[in-house]
Structure 1
Amino acid sequence: MKLVNVETNEVIAEHVKGAYTFWSRFKGLMLTESMPENAALHISPCTAIHTFFMKYSIDILYLDKEKKIVGIEKDLEPGKVGKKWMNAKSVIELPAGTMDKTSTVMGQRVVLVD
C-alpha cells in the first residue's frame, strides 16, 4: 500500500505495512534494526504509541476515523512515549525525517492506496 496526502497528492510512503491484529499492533516496530526509507507502519486501532525496545527514531502521524491528521510528532527517540492526541484512532509510523521531506501538516487527510 502507498500513503498519499489527499490535499497535495504527494506520496508520503511507498510501502505501508498494516498492523491490524492484537499481536502485530503489540509488536509494532519493536526489536527491529531500522526502518527503510519510503516505508511506514499503519497501526489501527491505536491512540498512542511508544518507542520502547526500538533502536531508532521515528516520525508519527496520528489520524482520526476519516484519516485526517490530528497530530504529528517528529523524531521521537527510542525509549519514549508519544503524545496523546484527542480523536486519534490510528497512527502511521515513518522513518525519522520523513515529515521534513514532505509538505504534510495537521488538518490534511491521507489515504492508503493499494
Structure 2
Amino acid sequence: MKEKNITISFQIKVANSFFARLKGLMFRKDPIKNEGLLIIPCNAVHMFFMKFPIDIVLLNKQNEVVKVYQNLKPWRMTKPEKNAYSTLELPAGSINQFGIRVGSIIHCTNIH
C-alpha cells in the first residue's frame, strides 16, 4: 500500500517541555480552529478539564500515523500506543477533512 503524504497548513504549536505537555489545550474556553498542538514526546492523551472535543493523531518518529481518535470528547482518555512518539491535536473534524488514516505521513508547514 502506498503511503499518503498529508500537508497540514494550520498553525501548529509545539509542546515539548514538561509544563507545556501537561497543560496542552486544557482550560481553553473556545474550540480550536485552524490550529493544532504537537506534543513531543507523547503516546497518549487525556481530555480532563477540556471544554470541547478534538481529533487526536498519534505519530511515530517518522511522522507516520500509527493511531487516530476522531472527535475525542472531554473527560476521556486514549490508551498508550507503544509505537507513538508524538501526538498531534487538531480541531474536531480534521481527520476527515484531511483524509488522515493510519499509514499517512504528516507534514506540518507552520510549526511554532
Amino acid at match of 1:7: K
The yes-or-no answer on 1:25 pairing with 2:21 is: yes
Taking structure 1 as the reference length, the TM-score comes to 0.86
Query: Against the structure 1 CA distance between its residues 47 and 82, is the aligned structure 2 distance closer, same or farther, given a 3 Å change threshold?
Result: same
Contact in 2 for aligned 1:47/1:88 (Cα 8 Å): yes
Q: After TM superposition, give the deviation of residue 13 of structure 1 in Å.
A: 4.0
Runs of 4+ in structure 1 displaced over 4 angstroms?
none
RMSD in angstroms over aligned alpha carbons?
Answer: 1.6
The yes-or-no answer on 1:37 pairing with 2:27 is: no
Contact in 1 for aligned 2:8/2:107 (Cα 8 Å): no
Which has the bigger relative contact order, CA under 8 A and spacing at least 6? 2
Amino acid at match of 1:27: K
The gaps in structure 1 that reach 5 residues or longer are: 1-5
What is aligned with 2:85? 89
Taking structure 2 as the reference length, the TM-score comes to 0.87
Between the aligned partners of 2:29 and 2:106, the Cα distance in structure 1 is 27
Q: After TM superposition, give the deviation of residue 37 of structure 1 in Å.
A: 1.7
Q: After TM superposition, give the deviation of residue 72 of structure 1 in Å.
A: 0.4
The gaps in structure 2 that reach 5 residues or longer are: none
What is aligned with 1:50? 46
Q: After TM superposition, give the deviation of residue 7 of structure 1 in Å.
A: 2.9
Between the aligned partners of 1:91 and 1:63, the Cα distance in structure 2 is 6
The yes-or-no answer on 1:108 pairing with 2:104 is: yes
